[in-house]
Amino acid sequence: MAQRPWSEACERNRGPILEVLREAFAGATRVLEIGAGTGQHAVFFAAALPHLEWQPSDRPEHLPGIAAWREHEGSSNLRPPLALDVDDARWPVGSCDALFSANTLHIMGWPSVENFFRGAGRVLQPGGVLAVYGPFRYGGRHTAPSNAQFDAYLRARDPQSGIRDFEAVDALAAAQGFKLTGDHAMPANNRTLLWRRIAGGCQSPAQPV
């Protein structure tokens, strides 16, 4: 069995995220997690929210680690990890009524962020909830000096990555028929953003940030 990867940040932020998801996903039945990473969030949230079927997904290289966590302490409602790339024209999943992703939008290039929201618009049913955790800028400004430093680090490592403007990602969500329903402050200057799918979108583009 593969080793279980470890993220200290996942351990720190999982409790505050759960408090938001407990209410946001109260009426959901099937959650797709995009970019499940180490798998720590998946095993924790699935166990804490037993009414949900939790489907973790990520790129193939991350699946063994997620599977190791599932085998070690996964609950019966945690599905085997699924290979999924947001840039694929079709995602290998059926419809779901909730979607969760943590710390992914600032790692992807902007075209992939656009594809993330397009994919969410395809798989989420009307009334479905989209929850995204991570750092964001507001009005073109960082919310803390540490976020500005992190953004500079990301862009130096990969010019296509970086902390995204809230207004830009909200525009992408609106183009897919999502309405913002929550913006929750999280530890370490992060946010959890919530949208609900109201109707089909218009696929309008947005500018990279």
Bridge partners for 54 per DSSP: 31, 78
Does the domain formed by 101-209 have CATH 3.30.230.30? Answer: no
pLDDT for 206 equals 45
Q: What is the pLDDT of residues 142-166, one digit of tens each?
A: 999 999 999 999 999 999 999 999 9
Bridge partners for 137 per DSSP: 165
Q: How far is CA 100 from the centre of its chain?
A: 4
CA distance 114 to 117: 5
Q: What is the pLDDT of residues 162-186, one digit of tens each?
A: 999 999 999 999 999 999 999 999 9
- 2 by DSSP, 3-state: which? coil
8: which 2 tokens? 């200290």
Are the folds of 6-84 and 101-209 the same? yes
H-helix segments, 77-130:
110-123
pLDDT at 118 over 60: yes
Among the ranges given (16-30, 61-75, 162-176, 179-193), the one the predictor scored with the smallest mean pLDDT:
61-75
pLDDT at 207 over 50: no
CA distance 104 to 76: 26
pLDDT for 1 equals 59
H-helix segments, 158-195:
166-175
Residues 6+ apart with CB under 8 A from 149: none
- For residue 164, what is the enclosing H or E element? strand 164-165
Domain ranges of the chain: 6-84, 101-209
The DSSP bridge pattern shows strands 136-137 and 124-134 to be unpaired
The CATH number given to 6-84 is 3.40.50.150
What type of residue is 102? Answer: A
